[in-house]
Structure 1
Amino acid sequence: MHDRERGLERLHEVTADARARADVAVGRMFGSEGYSVRSKLFAFVSTDGTLVVKLPEARIEELRLDNMVMRGSPMREWATVPYGAGADDWATIVADALAFVDEITP
């Protein structure tokens, strides 16, 4: 199984509760399956199987995560979570990302 497929499988597992919400959708984003709340992206898996989530800067620092880098620049509120972090960590971080984006999205 390729890294992205493995990551997508885990993301699907840890988003069961989120997908049950009427305002959460799954679609193609950044060339991968992504999860959004009211059309605002909060989580997806990169080509290397890494989870990418939108979180407040303080939470990214607290979790000691790396920022996602796009075109050579770190994205302030986007963090990467390695596959090796484990499913429980992914579940917690995805829930945090959903709560954050839900709060800031009208």
Structure 2
Amino acid sequence: MAIDHEAAERGDKRLEALADPYLQRPGVDWGRMFSTTGLRVRGKIFGLVNHAGNLMVKIPATRADTLESTGAATRMTMAGKIMREWVEMPYDAGEEAWRTLLDEAYTYLEEITPRS
């Protein structure tokens, strides 16, 4: 995948602006995944900006199905494999849509990630 540096930077700035409330929560910090930096809870990434500048999140598969069927997001494909719980939402969906999806992803990962 070619990197669109301008789009990635624009997406990163939006994610950084949305990150503060999450970073105030216990166990949330920045971490690396897919050669980029994203928000994670207890070591598990729940949201990041991919090289195309889109928000990429992990959510329940049934929610991913809904978002995909409405065209609000698309499933991620990695090495030819469709990732059932990972979707990407375009930058043009807007900040509020990103905020909503990021919150869904945080809630999901917070629930399924074991506490030490």
Same fold flag (TM > 0.5) = yes
* Runs (5+) with no aligned partner, structure 1: none
Q: Which residue of 2 aligns with 1:102?
A: 110
Query: Shift in Å at residue 17 of structure 1?
Result: 0.6
Give every structure 1 segment of 4 or more consecutive aligned residues whose post-TM-superposition deviation is greater than 3 Å.
none
The question of 1:77 aligning with 2:77 is answered no
Query: CA RMSD of the aligned region, Å?
Result: 1.2
Q: TM-score, normalised by structure 1?
A: 0.94
Alignment match of 1:16 (pick from 6, 20, 36): 20
Query: Shift in Å at residue 60 of structure 1?
Result: 1.3
Secondary structure, aligned partner of 1:7: helix
Q: Contact 1:15/1:94 (CA < 8 Å) preserved in 2?
A: no
Larger Rg: 2
Q: Which residue of 2 aligns with 1:61?
A: 65
Identity %: 40
Secondary structure, aligned partner of 1:2: helix
* Runs (5+) with no aligned partner, structure 2: none
Q: TM-score, normalised by structure 2?
A: 0.86
Q: Which residue of 2 aligns with 1:42?
A: 46
Query: Shift in Å at residue 27 of structure 1?
Result: 2.2
